[in-house]
Amino acid sequence: MSDQSTPVIELQGLEVKLGGRQILKGLNASLTGRCIGLLGPNGAGKTTLLHTLLGFHPPSAGAARIFGHDIKAEARAIRGLMGYMPESDAFIAGMTAVRFVRLMGEISGLPSERALERAHETLFYVGLGEARYRKVDTYSLGMKQLAKLAQALVHGPRLLFLDEPTNGLDPSARERMLRLIRDIRDTGEVDIILSSHLLRDVEECCEEVLVLKNGTIATYCNLEEERRANRKFLEIEVRGGDDGSFAAAVEALGCEMAMGAKQKMKVVLPEGIEVRDLYRLAAERQVQIRKLDFKKDSLQDIFLKAMETEVQANGRI
């Protein structure tokens, strides 16, 4: 697990060109979370960023560090710390799951006997215990996803890259995969980078979110802090009080307020003001509060806001 002083990933003006086309454009960020979501529309550069961090693509400019190790100079050491679950189907043909996961463990440096032990343990952990002697070729899509997760975990990495882990899964398999990811996160032994275009997956598992747009960072935020910062936004729908006295009274309390259509209003409560004060004001003015919601910015709001925001030349919003 990363200690808070050392970022899990640092990007310093990272640029990547593939086939003559610039895919990543000067990314700057310092990612510190235990489970970081990598979001973005198709073609935003999520997979390219993961591949670059894995050393598959050389950066054309800039640098990146994982746990303080430079991805170019210390690629081998970095790969020893990582587990990678690719997006597409990936397995070694003709092998049973236990043999496949064992091979991957041995390639990562585990001694043969320990790799076998851990292959069994990992397959049980991801829920393939009963099917571990079946050839991976014969697995269903959901089982192949779990086998990919097992091979990424077998050597006990410090950082886990999950590229679209719920791709093609039915709702129950998806729920099981997300539960596993949360469980791995909660062990506290591994940091996770979860790349997905499914906002709910990221929302359910991640603490921080990095949103990419056209190869640049559109936003990077801590989901919990965002939620906390927006706790006192209230969406209120009222009936009666057409003279505007209620709105004026709410403003007089010191609340920031914006009127919407159909007697809807958005209210930010300052320190010391509670919801009961609004009810009191409404009662005094014969106004009915028909609906009152705590409005938190959902990940969808954050994502949509990021997509609308123009990105500056340095890769930050």
Partner 1 sequence: MAVYERNFGRFKGALTPTGTRFLILPRYAFREVFQSKFFVAFFTLCFALPFAGLLMIYLHHNLAALKFLNLPLEQLKDALPINATFFSRGLNVQGSLCFLLALFVGPALIAPDLRNNGLPLYLSRPFNRTEYVAGKMTVLVVLMSLITWVPGLLLFFFQSYLDGAGWFGENLRIGTALFVGSWVWILLLSLVTLAVSAWVKWKPVARVTLLILFFVLSGFGQALNNALHKWWGWLFSMWAAVQNIWASLFGKEIDPDLYMPVPAAWLALTAGCLVCLWLLSRRIRAYEVVR
Can residue 133 be called a binding residue for partner 1 (CB under 8 A)? no
Near partner 1 by CB under 8 A: residue from 76, 271, 274, 310: 76
Does residue number 74 form part of the binding site for partner 1 (CB under 8 A)? no
- Does residue 187 bind partner 1 (CB under 8 A)? yes
> Is residue 280 within 8 Å of 269, Cβ to Cβ?
no
Write the DSSP string, 2-41.
--TTS-SEEEEEEEEEETTEEEEEEEEEEE--SEEEEE-S
Contacting range for partner 1; rule: CB under 8 A; set: 113-121, 230-238, 249-257, 283-291: 113-121
The torsion angles phi and psi of 152, rounded to 5 degrees, stand at -75, -20
Please return the burial class of 84, using the count of CB atoms within 10 Å of its CB with bins 0-12, 13-18 and 19+. buried
Restricted to residues 225-254, the positions that interact with partner 1 (CB under 8 A) are none
Instruction: Find the binder of partner 1 among 30, 68, 107, 270 (CB under 8 A).
Output: 107
* Of residues 157-186, those binding partner 1 (CB under 8 A): 158, 161, 183-184
**Which residue in the set 170, 175, 189, 225 belongs to the binding site for partner 1 (CB under 8 A)?**
189
The CA distance from 209 to 186, in Å, is 17
Q: In the set 73, 77, 259, 304, which binds partner 1 (CB under 8 A)?
A: 77
Q: Does 94 bind partner 1 (CB under 8 A)?
A: yes
Specify the stretch interacting with partner 1 by CB under 8 A; choose among 7-15, 115-123, 284-292, 299-307: 115-123
Choice between 18 and 268, CB closer to partner 1 = 18
Judged by CB under 8 A, the residue of 35, 71, 153, 206 near partner 1 is 153
The whole-angstrom separation of Cα 315 and Cα 317 is 7
Written as one string, the DSSP assignment of 59-127 is -SEEEEEETTEETTTTHHHHHHHEEEE-SS----TT-BHHHHHHHHHHHTT--HHHHHHHHHHHHHHHT
Parallel, antiparallel or unpaired: strands 35-39 and 159-163? unpaired
Q: What is the DSSP annotation of 193-207?
A: EEE-S-HHHHHHH-S
The C-alpha atoms of residue 254 and residue 273 are separated, in whole angstroms, by 9
Contacting partner 1 within 37-56 (CB under 8 A) = 51, 54, 56
Q: Name the segment binding partner 1 (CB under 8 A); options: 38-46, 102-110, 289-297, 306-314.
A: 102-110
Among 124, 144, 160, residue whose Cα is nearest residue 8: 160
Residues at the contact surface with partner 1, assessed by CB under 8 A: 18-20, 51, 54, 56-57, 76-77, 79-80, 82, 84, 86, 88-94, 99, 103-104, 106-111, 114, 116-118, 120-122, 124-125, 129, 137, 151, 153, 155-156, 158, 161, 183-184, 187, 189-190
